[in-house]
Each structure stands twice: as C-alpha cells, then as structure tokens.
Structure 1
Amino acid sequence: MNRHVNAIAGRLSLRHPQRRSLEILDRITEIAPPGKAADVAAMLAAIRSEFPSVTDFERDFPSLCFALATGVGKTRLMGAFISYLHLAHGIDNFFVLAPNLTIYNKLIADFSDRNHPKYVFRGIAEFAIDAPSIITGDNYDQHDPRSGTFLGGVRINIFNIS
C-alpha cells in the first residue's frame, strides 16, 4: 500500500469507510495511472478487471463515484483525495462542484479556514506550509493562476451550479 495512504489516513483520522475509499483510489491510480495522455478505454478495462462495478466513466475522462452514508464524512474524504493525488501523483488542480449555495459556502469554509473545526487539511504538513489556493466564484478573476504565486501550488476551484 502507498505510504501516502497510511500517512493521510492517520493525519486526518479517517474512519474505516473513508480509509477504504482512499485505498481504492490508491489501487485505481496504481493500475491506471492518471495522466493527460492516458488511454481512457484501457484505463476503464484495467479498473473494471479489479472493480467490476465500474462499467463506464460516462465521460471522455476517468470519472468515478464513491458512495458513503450520510454523516460519514464525504467532505473530509475529498480533502483526503486531494491530499493523496497531490502528494502521490503531483496533481495540483482540483474542481469541486457544490449542488447549492449552502453546501458551496460550507465547502469554502471547510477547505480554506484553518481555524474552522472541520478544516479538511488539518494534519497535512505540506498544506500547513503551503496552503492550497481556494478559487471561488467571488475571487476567480482576481489572480493569474499561471503566475505560480497564487497563494500556493495546489489550486482548488470550488463552484456552485446555481
């Protein structure tokens, strides 16, 4: 198992279903490494060989869904996934889509306010040193994301559909 999985699961105090989801993501990225030049059909075949419930990405890019019960901590799991993908695979750009304004505002607080009780990156040392940039509908036009000085190397775009 990837050393990042153990570190992230411990630092974020992931519950069993969250940790299991992170382990699945780790295995998926092992058998179908992320990348821009990836063959999506080959990735689907590789993933389906170990996870038969994955029958289609429904997009022109790999797209997966993790089902967790209410109250298990899907937002914390998003933080764990972002941490893992950044630390293990060097991915720096993320997009989170909120279904409504209430969840949108909650996500912004959970991802950006280090003093918030549900801050999703508490314990991730790399983000304590260089916090992710949170890009929202309110600030997306205020910075040049290509400059590399946009508050950090990791950029999390949080937008809402309404």
Structure 2
Amino acid sequence: MLGKVILSDILSKACVITDMQANSKIDVIEQLTQSLFEQGAIDNKKGFIADVLTREALGSTGFENQIAIPHGKSRWVKETKIAVARLKETVDWETMDSSDVRLVILFAVKETDSGVGHIKLLARISIALGDDDVVERLLNANSQEELYRLIINNTGE
C-alpha cells in the first residue's frame, strides 16, 4: 500500500514524451502504455489498456486547459507508475471545458496500491494543473528534461 507518494519515485524521464504524434485518445493511451511496458511497470499491454478504457467509460478523465489524466487500477500493473505526453497536435477528448487535449498524464496503479496514496498524488497533480501559468509552461516546455522537471517541481512535493 502506498503511503506518501513521491512523484519522482513513480515518474521516470523515459516515460515523459514530448511532441507525441497521436490521432486519437486511444492512440495516446496505447503509446503511453508502451512506454510503461518498456520500463517494466506493466506486463500485459492489452489487459491494461482495457482496464483504462473501462475506467474512461465510467466518466471522462479530461479536465480543463487541454489536459487529461486517464488512469487504470489493474492486475497487469507490476509497479505503480505514471507516463506523460505532450502532444504535437491536440486530440479529441471529453473535457470539462470542451477543449481538445494536448497534455496527458496516464496513471498505472497496481491493485494493491489503490488506496489513499495515489488518490492524494492525483489530487496534487490536479491542483497543480489548475494553475494556468503551470499549464502554460508544461505545454511550452522545450525538452523532455524540462517537461519532467516542471512536473516534478509543481506537484507540491
């Protein structure tokens, strides 16, 4: 069970993608899932994607300011991790402000980690992403390193 979650423990630079080319919400989820798979965080891509899409069907994970935070609690997750993509072009995603999405943070949550820790981290990230200045900097980051540092430094750790 996760207690206090440190973002840098569950986000690696390898799972931060800048200028991702994607045609749809599912395409984004598949590419981020591939990065998590390559890092050893999940062991069944199709199973995990199915779990994320099942969660999406319960209610959109699109927020405001061109941001979506899809997530899946799944038996296919070996280690709770997140992956981030800043998209080259926006994709259609159901959001609170009806905007298309350009920044996606995918949570892969291990079933045994589904307690308070990841919910608090999700809340911290959501609060940070409510700041228009933070979002602007994330959307305009010039490199993977800069995007990674902005995410790590703006979540209240």
| TM-score using structure 2 length | 0.30
Query: Which of the pair has more CA radius of gyration?
Result: 1
Kindly indicate which of the two structures has a greater share of residues assigned to strand: 2
